[in-house]
Structure 1
Amino acid sequence: MSLTGQPIVEVKNLKKYFHTKRGMLHAVDDVSFSILKGETLGLVGESGCGKSTLGRAMIRLLEATSGEVKFWGEDILKLSSSRMKEMRKKIQIVFQDPYSCLNPRLSVSELISEPLLVNKVFSNSADRIKKVKDLMDTVGLAQRLVNAYPHELDGGRRQRVGIARSLALSPEFIVLDEPVSALDVCIQAQVLNLLNNLQKEFGYTYVFISHNLSVVKHVSDRIAVMYLGSMVELTDYRSIFKDPLHPYTQALLSAIPIAKMDVDRSKRIILEGDVPSPIEPPAGCRFAGRCRYRQERCSIETPELRQIDPGRWVACHYAKELKETV
C-alpha cells in the first residue's frame, strides 16, 4: 500500500501458522499494511481473529511463517540474533496483563532498570537509578513506590511500570497489546491519556490492539479490522465510524452499546452462523457464510484488500456497491 510520507513499519504478506493435531491453524494469513512515523494504528476484531498474534509476529516475539516486516526499510524477520538484539531497543511491547508480565520478586526499581542492565546502557548504578526515577516521573509513578513490589500496586500502577519498562531504551515503535482491557474504566482513561501524552512528547509510533471499539476510536489515527486472520478494512477512524464498508465492520460497530433509551435499536446487525475454523478456512471470502450481502462469487473467489478511495482499503468484492448504499 502507498501512504503519504515514508512509513516506519511496512508489513507485506505476513503469515503465521501453527501446527496442531487437527491441522495447520491460519492465525495470520497474508496481511499487508504500513504505519507512518508518529501515528497510532488501531487493530480490532473478535477474540481469536489474530490481532495479538499479528502484533507479536511483527516484532518477532513469534517467528513468522513467511512475509516481510520492514522497520525503516530493514526486514527484521531476516536479522541475525545479535542484530535483532540491537533492533529490540527501538521496538517494544506493552502486554495486556500488567501483573503476569512483571516478576513478582523484583521491586519497581529493579523491574524498570532490567532493560538497562541487560543492554548495558549505564556503567554505574547512580546513572541507572536516576534514569529509573526519570522514567517513573514520565509515566506518573510516585517515587515513594521505587521499592514496592507488584503485589503492592493496583492495576493502573502495574501497567505504568510496564510502560516505563518499554520506554527505558527510548524506542520508536511500540505494540500495545490490549493495554487497558484488564483495568477499571477510570484507570483506563488515565493510562490512555498517558499514552497519548507520551506520543505527543516523544513522537512514538503505536499499534494499539483492542476489542473495545470505543477505546480504539479515542486513540487511533487509522483503524484496521481483522477477521479470521485476514485484514478486511483499513481507513482513518472518522471514515470507519461514519460509513463502514465491509459487512463485518458494519456488524462490529452496530454492536457497540448505546446508553440511551430513545435510540433506534432496529439497526443492530445480528450475524448468523458460526465463525469458520481457522484450521480449515473456507474457500473464497472467509466472512461469506455470515454475510447478508453474499453472492455466489463470494464463496469461490477470495477478495483482495483493495483501495476504494484514497487511504481506504476494503477486502470485499462489492465494496463499491456497498459504499453507494451507505
Structure 2
Amino acid sequence: MNNTTPLIQTKSLKKYFKTPRGDLHAVDDVNLTIQRGQTLGVVGESGCGKSTLGRTILRLIEPTSGEILYNGEDIVKYNRKQMLALRKKMQIIFQDPYASLNPRMTVSEIISEPMKVCRTLTNQRDIDNKVFELMETVGLAERFVNTYPHELDGGRRQRIGIARALALDPEFIVCDEPVSALDVSIQAQILNLMMDLQEARGLTYMFITHDLSVVKHISNEIAVMYLGQCVEKAPSDELFENPLHPYTKALLNAIPVPNLKYRNKERVAIRGEVTSPINPKPGCRFAGRCPCAKLECTAGDLSLNEVSKDHFVSCILYQK
C-alpha cells in the first residue's frame, strides 16, 4: 500500500443501540481520515459518541453500517481470524488507569498478557526482557515489576496502560481520554511521553478528549462531535484561530484563560434543551441550543462542506 493511503478512514460509519423508545444514534454518518503518523483529536461534551466512535473503529463494538478502512481495506468485512491478526496493529489506552487494570495481576503480568495471548513471544526470558524494555520506555522503574496497581499512583498506572498498549508494537492507538483522570502536572508528563513515543515509533493516534487545551497540544487535526455527528473538522491551528460552527465557538469560549486582563471577558453560555439522540429528527442537532438557528436548520440533514483548505463544517451558514 502506498504512503498516500490514509491509515484509518471511515465512510458513513454508524452505530445505533436498541432502546425501548427506539434507536439511539451514538455514531451517525461519521466520515474521518487519519494519515499515518498523525494525531486526530476528537472533542465534544460527554455523551456525544467520542468513545463509541473509537471503540467502533477498533471493532470492539460492531458498527451498524458503514466502512472502516485500515490501510485501504474494509475491516468490517474481516472474519474473526483476520481480526485477531489485525488486533496486534490496533490498540487502545483507556480513560481510567485503575479500572482498566486487573487488580489481581502484577505490573509484569499486565504488560506481558498481550504477548502471551497473541503468542508473539513464547520464551519466558524473552517476555521478561520485553517487559523491562517497555517499562523503561514509558518511564516505570524496574522496582515496580512485581507491584500491584493499587500500590501505585494514577500517573504510574496510566504508564502501565501505555506499556500494555505498546506490547504488540501497534501502528494505531485509540487514546480514550487517557489523561482526564490525572492531575494537571501528571497530564503534561503523560502527553509528552505519548508524543515522544509517536515520534520514535511512527505511531498514529486517535486522541479522544473533552479538554480543548489538551487536544491542541497533541493533535494535527481536530474533529468536533455533537450528538453522534461530526460538525466540524480542521487542522488544529486553523480550528483554534478560525472556528466556524456555533458549537465549536461555544466550546472554545468556555476555555479558562489564566490571565487577569481577560477576567471581564464575557462568557456565552449554551442554552436550550439537548436534542434526544433516540430517533432524532432530520436537521442540525444543535439547532435547539444554537444562537444562529434558522428555520432551514431543521429542514433536512446537513453534510460536511469544505469551506477552506481542509476545513470542513456542517452548518446552514456555510452550505453551498
**Normalized against structure 1, the TM-score is what?**
0.95
Deviations 1:239-278 (A, max 9, x none): 1111100010000100111222321645422222011110
Task: State the shift of 1:290 in Å.
Answer: 1.2
SS at match of 1:318: helix
**Partner residue of 2:36?**
37
Q: CA separation in 2, counterparts of 1:212 and 1:276?
A: 22
Does residue 304 in structure 1 map to residue 303 in structure 2?
yes
The equivalent of 1:81 in structure 2 is: 80
SS of 2:316's equivalent? coil
Any runs of at least 4 consecutive aligned residues in structure 1 with deviations exceeding 3 A, and if so which? 264-267
| Aligned equivalent of 2:236 | 237
Q: Distance in 2 between matches of 1:265 and 1:280?
A: 41
Does structure 1 conserve the Cα–Cα contact (< 8 Å) formed by 2:39 and 2:218? yes
Aligned-partner Cα distance in 1 for 2:264–2:231: 25
State how far apart, in whole Å, the 1-side matches of 2:282 and 2:306 are.
22
Instruction: For structure 1, list consecutive stretches of 5 or more residues without a partner in the other structure.
Output: 322-326
Aligned length: 318
Listed as ranges, the gaps of 5+ residues in structure 2 are none
**Could you say which residue in structure 2 is the equivalent of 1:14?**
13
Aligned-residue Cα RMSD (Å) equals 1.3
Query: Judging changes above 3 Å, is the alpha-carbon distance between structure 1 residues 77 and 320 closer, same or farther for their aligned structure 2 residues?
Result: closer
Question: Quick one: distance in 1 between partners of 2:289 and 2:173?
Answer: 34
Q: Which residue of 2 aligns with 1:91?
A: 90
SS for the counterpart of 2:260 is coil
CA deviation map 1:117-147 (0-9, x unaligned):
0011123100110000000011010011000
- Report how far residue 300 of structure 1 moved: 0.7
Residues 119-158 of structure 1 mapped to structure 2, 5 A cutoff: 119-158=118-157
Give distance in 1, aligned partners of 2:15 and 2:229: 11
Residue 226 of structure 2 corresponds to which residue in structure 1? 227
Find the counterpart in structure 1 of residue 283 from structure 2.
284
| Percent pairwise identity | 57
Q: Within 5 Å, which residues of 2 pair with 1:1-326?
A: 5-263=4-262, 265-319=264-318
Aligned-partner Cα distance in 1 for 2:259–2:152? 36
Deviation at 1:285, TM superposition (A): 1.0
What CA distance in whole angstroms lies between the structure 2 residues aligned with 1:31 and 1:67? 9
Q: Distance in 1 between matches of 2:69 and 2:195?
A: 25
